[in-house]
């Protein structure tokens, strides 16, 4: 089995990629990044991914390729669209990428890819029972893993919380929009994570997203029965997880 794969992480503002050693989770090349085209339309993103792929250099023709994307993924179709064009909804995205790149790919939700990366190489290595990763950013992405096995498309940022989508109250963008202090934001996070505990009884909670680098500012303010800690792989998590799933 090959231990080298390509991981591509498509986001609302940037598209990142690298060649990954899936035995260790380490990047074998520099991480390349191009801006997500304005509007995030399918053809424009496909062209940008192809340009990014070219920047990675000499990629073996039989190297597995994983692509993660901010959407619910069912049988290779994108069934939702977060911070990209609504034209993605219902598209056979996996097939479109395979045609554009001229090779087989594995297509997966971006938070799910990050969760797999943390389970294999990061903060959830060896974790037993139910691990829930939440990525705090423009919204709240999520990944659920039981004994390291992914339960895909969880979308826990859309749980109803006090009459609202949870991500509208507790995401990083909500903190910024409402100009919340760390303490004020932590009160919302407390409410959100208590709700996750009540509904799912997880064994471990992980917090990812760019804000996780400041986890010392807010995680100590939370009082939960479940251990909660920052994710480890940060901006590389989607790339690494997508590559790992392409090999699995």
| pLDDT tens track for 14-60 | 999 999 999 999 999 999 999 999 999 999 999 999 999 999 988 88
List domains and CATH numbers for the chain. Answer: 4-112+236-247 (3.30.420.40), 126-231 (3.30.420.40)
Burial (0-12, 13-18, 19+ Cβ within 10 Å), 58: exposed
Q: C-alpha distances in angstroms, 136 versus 83, 126, 127, 226, 247? A: 14, 23, 21, 18, 27
With a cut of 80, say whether residue 96 has pLDDT above it. Answer: yes
Q: Percent of the chain having pLDDT more than 90?
A: 90
Both tokens assigned to 90: 């219902």
Q: 55-59, 202-206, 227-231, 238-242 — which is least confidently predicted?
A: 55-59
Q: How far apart are CA 74 and CA 15, in angstroms?
A: 21
With a cut of 90, say whether residue 2 has pLDDT above it. Answer: no
Burial (0-12, 13-18, 19+ Cβ within 10 Å), 1: exposed
- Rounded (5°) CA angle 221-223-226: 125
Tracing tokens 């826990």 back to the chain, one arrives at 156
Q: 183-187, 232-236, 237-241 — which is least confidently predicted?
A: 232-236
Strand, coil or helix: what is 245? helix
Q: For residue 62, how many other CB atoms are within 10 A of its CB?
A: 9
With a cut of 90, say whether residue 82 has pLDDT above it. Answer: no
pLDDT value of position 8: 97
- How would you classify the pairing of strands 77-78 and 140-146? unpaired
pLDDT band at 210 (very low <50, low <70, confident <90, very high): confident
- How would you classify the pairing of strands 4-10 and 14-21? antiparallel
Question: What average pLDDT does this structure show over 183-199?
Answer: 98
Q: Phi first, then psi: what are they for 177, rounded to 5°? A: -60, -40
- How would you classify the pairing of strands 32-35 and 65-69? unpaired
pLDDT value of position 1: 66
pLDDT band at 83 (very low <50, low <70, confident <90, very high): confident
Question: What average pLDDT does this structure show over 86-107?
Answer: 94
Mean pLDDT of the chain: 95
Q: Where are the alpha helices (DSSP H) in the chain?
A: 42-55, 93-101, 110-121, 166-170, 172-177, 182-200, 237-247
pTM greater than the 0.85 cutoff: yes
Both tokens assigned to 53: 């792929």
| pLDDT tens track for 98-148 | 999 999 999 999 999 999 999 999 999 999 999 999 999 989 999 999 999
């Amino acid at each position: 089995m090959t231990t080298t794969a390509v991981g591509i992480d498509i986001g609302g503002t940037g598209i990142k990629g690298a060649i990954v050693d899936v035995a260790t989770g380490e990047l074998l090349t520099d991480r390349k990044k191009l801006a997500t085209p304005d509007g995030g339309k399918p053809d424009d993103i496909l062209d940008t991914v192809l340009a990014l792929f070219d920047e990675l250099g000499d990629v073996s023709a039989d190297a597995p390729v994983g692509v993660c994307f901010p959407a619910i993924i069912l049988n290779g179709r994108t069934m939702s669209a977060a911070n990209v064009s609504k034209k993605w909804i219902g598209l056979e995205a996996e097939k479109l990428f395979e045609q554009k790149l001229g090779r087989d790919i594995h297509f997966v939700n971006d938070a799910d890819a990050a969760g797999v990366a943390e389970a294999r190489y990061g903060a959830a290595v060896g974790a037993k029972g139910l691990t829930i990763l939440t990525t705090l950013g423009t919204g709240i992405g999520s990944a659920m893993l039981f004994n390291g096995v992914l339960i895909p498309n969880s979308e826990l940022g859309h749980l109803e919380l006090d009459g609202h989508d949870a991500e509208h109250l507790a995401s990083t963008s909500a903190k910024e929009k409402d100009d919340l202090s760390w303490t004020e934001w932590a009160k919302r996070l407390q409410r959100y994570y208590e709700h996750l505990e009540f509904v799912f009884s997880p064994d471990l909670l992980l917090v990812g997203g760019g804000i996780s680098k400041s986890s010392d500012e807010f995680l100590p303010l939370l009082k939960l029965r479940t251990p909660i800690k920052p994710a480890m792989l940060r901006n590389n998590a989607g790339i690494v997880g997508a590559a790992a799933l392409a090999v699995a």
